[in-house]
Amino acid sequence: MKSIIAGPDFTPRTLTFGEVKCFSYNKDLKSEIAGKVLTKEDAIFMFRQMVNIRAFEEMIIRLRSGELVPYEGYKFSGATHLSIGQEAVPAGAMAALKGDDYITSSHRGHGHGIAKESYALRDMDKKGLQDFVGAVKFKSTKKDLLEQAIDVHLYRTMTEFMGKEDGYCRGRGGGMHIADFNVGHLGANAIVGGSLPMATGAGMSSMFQDDGKVTVCFFGDGASNNGVFCESLNMACMGQFADKGVPVIFLLENNQFGMTGRTRNEITGLDFLARRGWAYNDKGMHAEVVNGMDALAVRDAVSRAAEKCRNGQGPALLEVMTYRYMGHSLSDQNLYRQQEEIEMWRCEDAIERMKVELVKAGLDPTEPEEIEKQIYKDMEEITIAAAKSDFPDPSTLMEGLYSNSTTETVPAEYKTTDYNKEFVKDYRDGKGCMPYRRAVQEALTEEMIRDKRVVVYGEDVAEHGGAFAATAGLFETFGRKRVFNAPISEVAICGSAVGMAMTGMRPVIELMYIDFILMSMDQLGNQAAKNKYMFGGKAKMPLVCRTTIGGGKGYAGQHSQSLEAAATMIPGLKVVAPSTPGDVKGLLKTAIRDDNAVIFIEHQLLYGDRGEVPAGDYTIPFGKAAIRREGSDVTIVSYSYMANEAIKAADLLAADGISAEVIDLRSLIPMDTETVLKSVQKTNYGVVACQACTTNSFGEHIAYEIQNKAFDYLDAPVELVGAPDIPPPMAPTLEAAFMPNAAKIAARVKTMLGK
């Protein structure tokens, strides 16, 4: 950041760190009601959600053990990560939030989902509740509309756990992947720590949109020892966001164990993990340790943290100390702890504590018991109804993977009005040509003007303009609110983009080299690619990850690879690899408008290439290849930089009387198989050229498609020209031998044709 000057200062000093308050809540329900912080009805509702959570999970135990058999022939299936003992955490936290605030959850997330939706339903108007109740065939016998809605909610949660069509995610996600975007539940996550950067992104989205929402990220003590924890908290605390603050509460639900590893005195060297808040900003992230067996204490802490976030003082870190009575899953025999310890924690049971508080506040002692008894009865009926409901029809298997929508029309409120027009320049020469890198920059500029939800960030993309100067000028045009540097933290960059995309923004992120994509594959492969399908086809994922492939510059094994197949193998990602300046502009604009995650691959050796780029707004559709050169003797299929080498190979072959047709795929997923097959059917020969190592490359997939669908037309097996199966070497002599090129393509064609 040029605005900061940091000169040398070697003055001797001692750094000190601030306090972390532990268990400071000293009130009770009676005093909270007297102080009008809560009503008696609020407290009863909170208690009901705690019991709902426990009753729900105890039904799972009964189902798995065979004690409850909903119908003859029933077979139990699914993961069983229970949170029995931890009910005060979600119930207390949701009591402190607004109905439209966001949450992210973990694999142990039944309680988070049950409490989140219940409180959101409580905030709904009559029409919203009626629509919710009428969305499924299941009917509650309750008279009160809210109680009916909560019964339907519990039914939909249980049906999702069982993999049924009526589930929140249509059975695609199951118990570890429940979400409802309609109420801000951005999803439970089976990857430990997987939701942390997404929560950061959701908070960033609220900060940029100034929508007043807070995101609460539920994660466990095990996740706090994952690198993604450090990367996410660091990103949320970046100094460039300090003026407004990222409104996210990182709620560390410390149930004492990762899986079987004990957090304290075994796998960490800390008594309280909240100490780590002081590593990320000079406010210590307002870190606090909270009694997680007391729902009132949790509600109080989350309420205060949420207020700070809404006032621009976020983010916050809360460590909530709780305990899971059951194992990591029901297959866990608890060999790593003593029964005595479990019983000690049961003496602090959150539900029993809340019963006592309710009676002290004036409730008849029998009323909490009656509430509990009725909830268990209702839950059994709901569970049996869920078990008898329909599984998804196998014919719907492919539904929900991609969004079919784009932003061809941008609402007026999203049009950009605040930008520096002086920096918007036309870099075309007298022939209408410009460099590839300038075409990238022009596409980004036009889309950012068109839609202010588009933001650009990544490593060194601001004042520096990116490693290849493809974002040069954007910072000066749009300022730090729209273009900003991220830490060298691929997981946080990609994960935050997922969170932003799910909450109304359209981020364009940059990873300098595709080699670095391996650092981020959890977020791109397990989150960006899967969240729409896994959450029942509801999520939109309008994010673009720009990155580069290819060697030829002596950058060796970790900056020169062509790893596009790492992205093409994952369903849910679209993958684009343009070869010309005109295509890179049109395809990038298409990518930004698409409501799916797009891996947009540029090539290091193409940035300086000049080519014709039409002026003004235009897009190029995905899945439509370009025939760069027509021919009759052989078909050469390629993409990115190698498409240009294929054209050169066609020139070499023409000198020997061989007519080669060159097809530039442009987009890999979706792939224009039809154009390729028509060409091969005409020429009867197919050659595929890619810069990747041949084994398991995308080139192999292209060859398979030709061999599989045009076999009867082939006069010889399909040939694949690629790099040898070694990391790219640095030495010029070795790199030249490693790199496929026009001469190697032409030689392979001649061998194939026997010439």
Structure confidence by residue, pLDDT tens digits, 703-722: 999 999 999 999 999 999 99
Q: What domain range is 605 assigned to?
A: 412-612
Instruction: Give the total number of structural domains in the chain.
Output: 3
Predicted confidence band at 731 (pLDDT cuts at 50, 70, 90)?
very high
222-232 mean pLDDT: 95
In a domain? residue 46: yes
Percent of the chain whose predicted confidence (pLDDT) is above 90: 94
Domain shared by 559 and 676, yes or no:
no
Instruction: Give the CATH number, domain containing residue 427.
Output: 3.40.50.970
What distance in Å separates the CA atoms of residue 118 and residue 112, rounded to the nearest whole number?
A: 10
What distance in Å separates the CA atoms of residue 623 and residue 637, rounded to the nearest whole number?
A: 14
Q: Comparing C-alpha atoms, which of 532, 591, 503, 543 is closest to residue 200?
A: 503
Q: Comparing C-alpha atoms, which of 232, 205, 210 is closest to residue 494?
A: 232
Domain shared by 84 and 152, yes or no:
yes
Look up residue 514 and give its amino acid: I
Domain shared by 696 and 578, yes or no:
no
In a domain? residue 399: no
What distance in Å separates the CA atoms of residue 223 and residue 749, rounded to the nearest whole number?
A: 53
In a domain? residue 620: no
In a domain? residue 391: no
Q: Comparing C-alpha atoms, which of 100, 96, 139 is closest to residue 117?
A: 100
> Which carries the bigger pLDDT value, residue 558 or residue 53?
53
- Structural contact between residues 274 and 289, judged by C-beta atoms closer than 8 angstroms: yes
Q: Which tokens hold the place of 44?
A: 């009863």
Across the chain, what does the average pLDDT equal? 96
Q: Comparing C-alpha atoms, which of 172, 176, 133 is closest to residue 155?
A: 133
Consecutive H or E run containing 669: strand 667-669
Domain shared by 215 and 109, yes or no:
yes
What distance in Å separates the CA atoms of residue 97 and residue 595, rounded to the nearest whole number?
A: 29
Domain shared by 374 and 464, yes or no:
no
Domain shared by 48 and 194, yes or no:
yes
Domain boundary among 386, 420, 449: 386
Domain shared by 119 and 144, yes or no:
yes
CB-facing half-sphere around the CA of 530: CA atoms within 13 A: 22
Domain shared by 658 and 530, yes or no:
no
Length of the chain: 755
From first CA to last CA, the distance across the chain in angstroms is 59
What distance in Å separates the CA atoms of residue 153 and residue 84, rounded to the nearest whole number?
A: 19
In a domain? residue 537: yes
Buried b (16+ CB within 10 A) or exposed e, 608-617: ebbbebeeee
Predicted confidence band at 471 (pLDDT cuts at 50, 70, 90)?
very high
Structure confidence by residue, pLDDT tens digits, 640-699: 999 999 999 999 999 999 999 999 999 999 999 999 999 999 999 999 999 999 999 999
Domain shared by 686 and 655, yes or no:
yes
β-bridge mates for residue 686, sequence order: 635
Listing DSSP states for 334-369 in one string gives -TTS-HHHHHHHHTT-HHHHHHHHHHHTT--THHHH
Q: Which tokens hold the place of 68?
A: 């409850």
Question: What number of helices (H) and strands (E) belong to the chain?
Answer: 24, 20
Residue 567 CB contacts under 8 Å (≥ 6 apart), including other chains: 517, 524, 573, 575, 599, 669
Residue 606, burial from CB neighbour count under 10 angstroms (0-12, 13-18, 19+): buried
Residue 51 pLDDT > 80: yes
Residue 531 pLDDT > 80: yes
Query: Does 559 participate in catalysis according to the annotation?
Result: yes
Structure confidence by residue, pLDDT tens digits, 16-45: 999 999 999 999 999 999 999 999 999 999
How many C-beta atoms surround the C-beta of residue 182 within 10 A?
A: 14
Residue 2 pLDDT > 80: no
Q: How many Å separate Cα 28 from the centre of its chain?
A: 39
Residue 711, burial from CB neighbour count under 10 angstroms (0-12, 13-18, 19+): exposed
Predicted confidence band at 4 (pLDDT cuts at 50, 70, 90)?
confident
In a domain? residue 728: yes
Residue 553 CB contacts under 8 Å (≥ 6 apart), including other chains: 560, 604, 605
Residue 616 CB contacts under 8 Å (≥ 6 apart), including other chains: none
Domain shared by 420 and 321, yes or no:
no
How many C-beta atoms surround the C-beta of residue 267 within 10 A?
A: 14
Instruction: Give the CATH number, domain containing residue 699.
Output: 3.40.50.920
What distance in Å separates the CA atoms of residue 268 and residue 276, rounded to the nearest whole number?
A: 12
In a domain? residue 373: yes
- Structural contact between residues 694 and 723, judged by C-beta atoms closer than 8 angstroms: yes
Q: Comparing C-alpha atoms, which of 346, 218, 344, 348 is closest to residue 293?
A: 348
- Per-residue pLDDT at 748: 97
What distance in Å separates the CA atoms of residue 160 and residue 178, rounded to the nearest whole number?
A: 7
- Per-residue pLDDT at 408: 87
In a domain? residue 424: yes
Residue 755 pLDDT > 90: no
How many C-beta atoms surround the C-beta of residue 138 within 10 A?
A: 18
229-253 mean pLDDT: 96
Predicted confidence band at 189 (pLDDT cuts at 50, 70, 90)?
very high
Domain shared by 490 and 529, yes or no:
yes
- Per-residue pLDDT at 556: 87
Determine the 3-state secondary structure of 135 from DSSP. Answer: coil
Structure confidence by residue, pLDDT tens digits, 297-352: 999 999 999 999 999 999 999 999 999 999 999 888 788 899 999 999 999 999 99
Domain boundary among 612, 645, 673: 612
Flag whether the pTM goes above 0.75.
yes
Angle at 668 between CA 170 and CA 600, to 5 degrees: 85
Structure confidence by residue, pLDDT tens digits, 549-587: 988 888 888 889 999 999 999 999 999 999 999 999 999
Domain boundary among 585, 612, 639: 612
Listing DSSP states for 545-572 in one string gives EEEEE--SSS-GGGSS---HHHHHTSTT
Q: Which tokens hold the place of 656?
A: 């020997």
Q: Which tokens hold the place of 578?
A: 């343009």
Domain shared by 591 and 637, yes or no:
no
Catalytic residue among 107, 559, 603, 701: 559
Determine the 3-state secondary structure of 288 from DSSP. Answer: strand
- Structural contact between residues 598 and 543, judged by C-beta atoms closer than 8 angstroms: yes
